[in-house]
Structure 1
């Protein structure tokens, strides 16, 4: 399985959202219970400080964790789910580049028509919309954790047009990148 480039905070967001499209791409291990789960597990969420993430089931089991009885992360999925996992891993690892549907389809070994239909069926989004979501999540993370300008973040996250970046950011976050940064700074200032 291909390794994915997600930060701790990005993986944390995926388990809070119970995002099943990341199942099999990484596992959530809880230090206090010594149990590991899928990102989509509906069990009570642990405290953030008690969580570790692993991208390989052998690593997590070697570290002494046992599988959750509720989500059964050790049970394999269907070939279609594995195909979607590969496509998502490809998108995560190539989000900075120009990616077209044919690139993803070639990577996973199916036709672009079949991939788009299956991807939308499983995730509720087209591969393009999913890629845009990944880019916006990365941009939000950069806005929160760096001093990069909006323009720098636009290009750092794979957008090739600032107007497209601002439009999609507003669609996803219901505010502009500058408003998002101010909101985060205000929230941190109140702590």
Structure 2
């Protein structure tokens, strides 16, 4: 674990703008770098790297925060949405909210909703549901788990809700879909 001086750590936790010209911090779990004054939730200390400047953070593969815009850097909408989409593709099975995703990627829910829809042609929630349904179909065709277990595995917190959405999209229940060998009605 890289050593972070207490003075720098306190600046991050307290969102202290007096340190903005002293260092940039990057969060390994999100791949984002920020100014010490960034108002996003404080990361875990073990996930933080300290850099002298934004250029060094960028060279290490980190991207600028949308919220604090370190050194005025703004990530293009397509790239930001692409990174969020890639993260959703890996985390679709978790409980996901627009607010949680926006906070994780240092943007506002409104901004995320608007840009995601502009770039992807659908809202983040529509994208998550589409992805979950595609994976559910694949599991119904290849896996012998119960419908309830598949529903949970793809991230639906309510099996009846999953069944309702599935029936609306595919014209039959997940169980019927499986019995018919994956044929849509």
Q: TM-score, normalised by structure 1?
A: 0.53
* Unmatched segments (≥5 aa) in structure 1: 3-77
Query: Superposition pairs for residues 83-102 of structure 1, below 5 Å?
Result: 83-102=80-99
In the alignment, the residues of structure 2 paired with residue 102 and residue 179 of structure 1 have an alpha-carbon distance, to the nearest angstrom, of 35
In the alignment, the residues of structure 2 paired with residue 186 and residue 96 of structure 1 have an alpha-carbon distance, to the nearest angstrom, of 25
1:133 counterpart residue number? 130
Query: Superposition pairs for residues 37-186 of structure 1, below 5 Å?
Result: 79-184=76-181
Q: Tell me if the contact between 2:177 and 2:183 (Cα under 8 Å) persists in the aligned partners.
A: no
Post-superposition offset of 1:106:
2.1
After superposition, the CA RMSD in angstroms is 2.1
Matched positions, count: 111
Task: Kindly report structure 1 stretches of 4+ aligned residues shifted beyond 6 Å.
Answer: none
- Aligned partner of residue 181 in structure 2, secondary structure: helix
Q: Tell me if the contact between 1:133 and 1:172 (Cα under 8 Å) persists in the aligned partners.
A: no
